[in-house]
Amino acid sequence: MRTSERLDFNQKPNIEKIFEIVAPHIHASTIWPVSLFPDLPDDDYKQVVRSAYAGFGLTPSLESWVRTYHVSSLYTFPYAEQRMVDLLKEIFSDSIVIAFEASPMLKRVFERCAIAYIDVRAHSERFMDDLPLAFISNSPAARNALKAYEHPRAEFERMSNKLRRGFSIIASRDDIPERAVVFLAQTQYDSSVILPNGGFFDARPYLERVQNIVGSYNSTNLLIKPHPLEPDCDVVKALLTLPNSRLTDENVYDSCHRVVYPLLSHSRRLQGMRRNPFISPFTGFQRGSRSEAMCRSCSSTIRRPFGMRF
């Protein structure tokens, strides 16, 4: 339930596209009926979204999405939790739910309802040959089935080293300083940068820490690679206030033994960054005893016969 550019709250086309990709594989994996929820016309879909936010006393907006994203929103809006429980029980009581980037709040309600879910999201490590997926589930059977497709840590390390070697081609040019640190920016309103207090990440309090990270690599140069969808976002502007920082438009994924290349996310997990050239595959996804598995593509997502419903 998020917006696009603060205006369009209709995610129905995105949901339908994902369902079109994964539905044949899920149908082949279970004897249970598989359906898309909500399978409604656009106007009715938007009404479902409005009704969900009405339970919190809110109307659909970017701000409402942020305020209701985390579990803490269930304490901020004390009457909303029971309403969400009643709603989800009515819809999904006999189902296994496959969700795409479900909010922590929604997963908390699923657990209260004893509804099994598999949450699918794009993995935090984006430099593989294919986009890997991360899975979180409250179902032991689902976790065991997905475990067989987990990528080994060594494969992530191999691809990270491949990326660094490729970047050395760019680094050999005169306009790229040796031992430069590269910051790959995220979009400003991504779910990964929502704070528990209901706001978005602000880079300004972390500028000194970023500068210390740059110095820890014996580097004085910070190259900032903006996200192509938001090249002029507030986080990029804040980073450009640091000494010896500048933008780069190089395709760092396309083509670093001479450049120290940590992959930095400007999310709230900035405080967890370490001095290795890749982020742990479980960064930001692990929740208590929940386990995840990673797959190369949707076609290898489910191989065991347990039913599910969107």
Q: What is the pLDDT at residue 181?
A: 85
Measured distance CA(22)–CA(1) in Å, rounded:
20
Rounded distance, CA 285 to CA 146, Å?
15
Strand order in the sheet with 181-184: 181-184, 222-225, 245-247
pLDDT(267) > 80: no
Q: pTM for the whole thing?
A: 0.69
- Whether the CB-CB separation of 22 and 301 falls below 8 Å is answered with yes
Residues 51-61 as b or e (16 or more Cβ within 10 Å = b): ebbebbebebe
pLDDT digits 0-9 by tens, 207-228: 999 999 998 988 888 989 898 8
Q: How many helices (H) and strands (E) does the chain have?
A: 10, 7
Neighbour count for residue 7 (Cβ, 10 Å): 9
Q: b/e string for 63-84 if b means 16 or more Cβ within 10 A?
A: ebbbbbbbebbbeebeebbebb
Q: In which band, very low, low, confident or very high, does the pLDDT at 171 lie, cut at 50, 70 and 90?
A: low
Which residue type sits at 48? V
Q: What pLDDT shows up at residue 264?
A: 38
DSSP 3-state of 224: strand
Nearest to 190 by CA among 96, 126, 273, 249: 126
Give burial (CB, 10 Å; 0-12/13-18/19+) of 44: exposed
Give the model's pLDDT for residue 278. 29
> CA 132, 134, 140, 141: dihedral to nearest 10 degrees?
-40
Q: Give the contacts of 145 (CB within 8 A, at least 6 positions apart).
A: 302, 303, 304, 306
> Which residue matches tokens 């990528």?
151
Window from 8-22, 25-39, 88-102 with minimum mean pLDDT: 8-22
Average pLDDT of the segment spanning 34-56: 82
Helices (H), 95-173: 104-112, 140-147, 153-171
